[in-house]
Amino acid sequence: MNDLRKLLFGNLSTGLYAVLLAAAIVVPFFNLVVPASWPIHISTFMVGLLGKYICYALLALALDLVWGYCGILSLGHGAFFALGGYAMGMYLMRMIGPRGVYGDPILPDFMVFLNWKELPWYWHGFDHFSFAMLMVVLVPGLLAFVFGSLAFRSRVTGVYFSIITQAMTFALLLAFFRNDMGFGGNNGLTDFKEILGLDVQKETTRNILFVASLAALAGGYAICRAIVTSKLGKVLIAVRDAENRTRFLGYRVERYKLFVWVVSACLAGIAGALYVPQVGIINPSEFAPASSIEAVIWVAIGGRGTLVGAILGALLVNGFKSWFTGFLPELWLFALGALFIFSTLFLPQGILGALLYRRQKKGATLPPPGEADAIAPEPPVEDEQQAKLQRAGA
Amino acid sequence: MTAGTPPSPSSLLYLNDITVSFDGFRALNALSLAIDRGEMRAIIGPNGAGKTTMMDVITGKTKADQGDAYFSGTHDLRSLDEARIANLGIGRKFQKPTVFESHTVWDNLLLALKAPRGVFSTLVASLSGAQTEKIGELLEIVHLTDAKSMLAANLSHGQKQWLEIGMLLAQDPQLLLVDEPVAGMTDAETAKTATLLREINKTRTVVVVEHDMTFVRDLDVKVTVLHEGSVLAEGSLDHVSADERVIEVYLGR
Query: Is B172 part of the contact surface with chain A (CB cutoff 8 Å)?
Result: no
Of B59, B103, B154, the CB nearest to A248: B59
How far apart are alpha carbons A214 and A202 in whole angstroms? 19
Residues of B in contact with A365 (CB under 8 A): 153-154
pLDDT value of position A382: 39
Q: Indicate which of A248, A261, A263 best probes the interface with B, i.e. most B CBs within 10 Å of its own CB.
A: A248
Q: Are strands B40-44 and B205-209 parallel, antiparallel or unpaired?
A: parallel
With an 8 Å Cβ cutoff, are A251 and B83 in contact? yes
Q: Indicate which of A153, A245, A384 best probes the interface with B, i.e. most B CBs within 10 Å of its own CB.
A: A245
Q: A207-223, pLDDT tens digit by residue? A: 999 999 999 999 999 99
Q: What H or E segment, with its residue span, contains residue A67?
A: helix A44-70
How far apart are alpha carbons B197 and B178 in whole angstroms? 9
pLDDT value of position A9: 55
Q: Which residue of B has its CA nearest to A69?
A: B102
pLDDT value of position A358: 66
With an 8 Å Cβ cutoff, are B106 and A392 in contact? yes
pLDDT value of position A270: 98
The residues near A373 (Cβ < 8 Å, ≥ 6 apart) are A71, A240
With an 8 Å Cβ cutoff, are B86 and A248 in contact? yes
| Ramachandran category for residue A85: left, alpha or beta (phi over 0 → left; psi -120 to 50 → alpha) | alpha
Q: Which of residues 68-107 of B touch A (CB under 8 A)?
A: 82-84, 86-87, 91-92, 94, 98-104, 106-107
Residues of A in contact with B52 (CB under 8 A): none
How far apart are alpha carbons A355 and A109 in whole angstroms? 52
With an 8 Å Cβ cutoff, are B112 and A237 in contact? no
With an 8 Å Cβ cutoff, are B151 and A364 in contact? yes
How far apart are alpha carbons B201 and B220 in whole angstroms? 12
ipTM: 0.85
Q: For residue A256, give the amino acid letter.
A: Y
With an 8 Å Cβ cutoff, are B153 and A235 in contact? no
Query: Averaged over B24-46, what is the pLDDT?
Result: 92
Query: Is B177 part of the contact surface with chain A (CB cutoff 8 Å)?
Result: no
Residues of A in contact with B82 (CB under 8 A): 244, 247-248
How far apart are alpha carbons A300 and A180 in whole angstroms? 38
Q: How far is A342 from chain B (nearest CA, A)?
A: 25
Task: Return the SS3 of B225.
Answer: strand
Residues of A in contact with B83 (CB under 8 A): 247, 250-253
How far apart are alpha carbons A380 and A228 in whole angstroms? 12
What is the number of domains present in chain A? 1
With an 8 Å Cβ cutoff, are B101 and A363 in contact? no
Q: Indicate which of B95, B103, B179 best probes the interface with A, i.e. most A CBs within 10 Å of its own CB.
A: B103
pLDDT band at A388 (very low <50, low <70, confident <90, very high): very low
Query: Is B128 part of the contact surface with chain A (CB cutoff 8 Å)?
Result: no
Residues of B in contact with A232 (CB under 8 A): 119, 122-123, 125
Q: How far is B238 from chain A (nearest CA, A)?
A: 34
Of B99, B102, B112, the CB nearest to A380: B102
With an 8 Å Cβ cutoff, are B102 and A259 in contact? no
Long-range residue pairs from A318-324, CB within 8 A, at least 24 positions apart, any chain? A318/A52, A318/A53, A318/A56, A319/A53, A322/A49
With an 8 Å Cβ cutoff, are A392 and B148 in contact? yes
Residues of B in contact with A145 (CB under 8 A): none
pLDDT value of position B250: 78
Query: Averaged over B36-50, what is the pLDDT?
Result: 90
Tell me what percent of chain A is helix, strand and coil, each rounded to the nearest 5: 75, 0, 25
With an 8 Å Cβ cutoff, are A234 and B92 in contact? no
Burial class (CB in 10 A: 0-12, 13-18, 19+), A257: buried
Q: Is the pLDDT of residue A12 over 90?
A: no
- Kindly list the residues of chain A whose beta carbon comes within 8 Å of any beta carbon in chain B: 227, 230-232, 234-235, 237-238, 240-242, 244-253, 255-256, 259, 363-368, 378-381, 385, 388-389, 391-394
Q: Are strands B13-22 and B25-35 parallel, antiparallel or unpaired?
A: antiparallel
pLDDT value of position A371: 30
pLDDT band at A373 (very low <50, low <70, confident <90, very high): very low
Contact A178, A186 (CB under 8 A): no
Q: How far is A364 from chain B (nearest CA, A)?
A: 6
**What's the Cα-to-Cα distance from A293 to each of A67, A77, A143, A270, A386, rounded to whole Å?**
13, 9, 19, 19, 33
pLDDT value of position A355: 84
More confident position, A390 or B221: B221
Q: B53-110, pLDDT tens digit by residue? A: 999 999 999 999 999 999 998 899 999 999 999 999 999 988 888 899 999 999 999 9
> Comparing C-alpha atoms, which of A61, A288, A253 is closest to residue A157?
A253
pLDDT value of position A7: 54
Name the DSSP class of A29.
I
How far apart are alpha carbons B115 and A325 in whole angstroms? 53
Query: Averaged over A354-369, what is the pLDDT?
Result: 53
Share of chain B above pLDDT 70, in %: 95
DSSP string spanning A311-377? HHHHHHHHHHHHHHHTT-GGGHHHHHHHHHHHHHHH-TTHHHHHHHHHHHHHHSPPPPP-TT--S-P
More confident position, B124 or A358: B124
Q: Indicate which of B62, B122, B168 best probes the interface with A, i.e. most A CBs within 10 Å of its own CB.
A: B122
Q: How far is A159 from chain B (nearest CA, A)?
A: 21
pLDDT band at B8 (very low <50, low <70, confident <90, very high): low
Mean pLDDT over each residue of chain A, to the nearest integer = 89
Share of chain A above pLDDT 70, in %: 88
Query: Is B147 part of the contact surface with chain A (CB cutoff 8 Å)?
Result: no
Query: Averaged over A295-302, what is the pLDDT?
Result: 95
Query: Is B134 part of the contact surface with chain A (CB cutoff 8 Å)?
Result: no
Residue B79 has a CB neighbour count (10 Å cut-off) of 10
Q: Which residue of A has its CA nearest to B139?
A: A392
With an 8 Å Cβ cutoff, are B153 and A364 in contact? yes
Query: Is B240 part of the contact surface with chain A (CB cutoff 8 Å)?
Result: no
Residues of A in contact with B124 (CB under 8 A): 230
**CB pairs < 8 Å spanning A and B:** 105
The residues near A162 (Cβ < 8 Å, ≥ 6 apart) are A73, A74, A75, A372, A374
Task: Return the SS3 of B244.
Answer: helix
Residues of B in contact with A363 (CB under 8 A): 154
pLDDT value of position A375: 32
| Domain ranges, residue A128 | 2-393
Contact A120, A184 (CB under 8 A): no
DSSP string spanning A137-151? HHHHHHHHHHHHHHH
How far apart are alpha carbons A383 and A16 in whole angstroms? 14
The second-level CATH assignment, the architecture, of B13-97+155-251 is: 3-Layer(aba) Sandwich (3.40)
pLDDT value of position A260: 97
Residue B83 has a CB neighbour count (10 Å cut-off) of 20
Q: For residue B10, give the amino acid letter.
A: S
Q: Is the pLDDT of residue A363 over 60?
A: no
Task: Return the SS3 of B100.
Answer: coil
With an 8 Å Cβ cutoff, are A259 and B119 in contact? yes
Of A232, A247, A394, the CB nearest to B83: A247
More confident position, B48 or A371: B48
pLDDT value of position A367: 39
> Comparing C-alpha atoms, which of B13, B15, B8 is closest to residue B174?
B13
Query: Averaged over B156-172, what is the pLDDT?
Result: 92
